[in-house]
Amino acid sequence: MNISVLGCGRWGSCIAWYLDKIGNSVYSWGLTDAADFQQLKNEHKNEYLSYSPEMTVTDDLKAAIEHGDIIIISISSQNLRNFLQRVNKYPLDGKIFVLCMKGIEQTSGKRLTEVFEEYIDTDKTPVAVWVGPGHPQDYVKGIPNCMVIDSKNETVKKNLVDLFNSELIRFYIGNDLIGTEVGAASKNVVGLAAGMLDGLGYTSLKGALMARGTREISRLIGAMGGNEMSAYGLCHLGDYEATLFSRWSHNRMYGEMFVKGESFEKLAEGVYTTDALLKLGKQYGVELPIASAVKEVLSRNRSPKDILAGLFLRSIKSEFEN
């Protein structure tokens, strides 16, 4: 297949590398002035991986869109709306888009496919999401993992799973687009909380965080009309190892360094998703204690130790209550 990957950061470059590896014709697109793009253009490699000589690296958006029968977007989720205003100027009918990013729009609380549908007719140009656990640093070493593809379009998601499956990544078909998107985005907020616990020396509380985080998000998914059980799948709980424990996790590292008073310069989507989750919690009447605690820590209202200790050591409740 002819595939274009729009965005060449850590994940975008890994996706392009993977899709080339399994036999597709791949264009890797990036912004002209971006350091990530310049390195790939000049050296055909970055700090994570090396592109094959057959891959095309370009900053020509028109050429990338024309090339791709399947177009994957892997950029910061908060930039998707502005980016789609550029993309929808080109002929798109018959193409398939895949959003490979985990986030909820901070200002509106909208899922990313909802933002996509505001700009592009999904009857003519279907959209899917690609989420799940894993880090580029592991994939390039040949360490396998499992991921999920979901869409409102049954045929599209089944065909994408068949096309993208390999021994390196086993894909599953998602059956709950709301749950898949919200679960994937919200695990980054739980990842921030995990890093904060690590930074405070409260790592032993990460088990409680995992149990409570999954239940908290399952309630939100259910209130939004999704399947509560989605929170226990690969989009959320199945991604906890990569997000709450891995040294490669940007969100976990951001949380750890934040409570230590240090700065982390790389993208941590959970910072923006925290605001979006709280917006959704208010809209759907769902209490989100973990997201609220993370927001309070990020706002520097009180001591992080007091906030996080209070989250787990507050008044006695049943185990399955928030």
CB atoms within 10 A of CB 149: 25
Tokens found for residue 221: 């998914």
Which of 110, 187, 206, 295 is catalytic? The answer is 187
Residue with tokens 């930074």: 199
Residue owning tokens 């909208």:
110
Alpha-carbon dihedral 122, 86, 161, 164, rounded to 10 degrees: 160
Alpha-helical segments (H) within 56-176: 61-67, 80-87, 112-117, 136-139, 154-164
Check residue 100 and report its DSSP letter: -
Residues 258 and 199: beta-carbon distance below 8 Å:
yes
SS3 state of residue 70: strand
Other residues' Cβ atoms within 10 Å of the Cβ of residue 238: 21
The three-class DSSP label of residue 276 is helix
Q: How far apart are CA 205 and CA 155, in angstroms?
A: 42
Phi, then psi, of 92 in degrees rounded to 5: -125, -10
Tokens of 186: 């919200």
The token pair that represents 314 in the structure block? 């507050």
Q: Is 295 a catalytic residue?
A: no
Q: With beta carbons less than 8 A apart as the criterion, state whether 249 and 191 touch.
A: yes
Dist CA 19 CA 176 (whole Å): 25
Looking at the annotation, which residues are catalytic?
A: 187
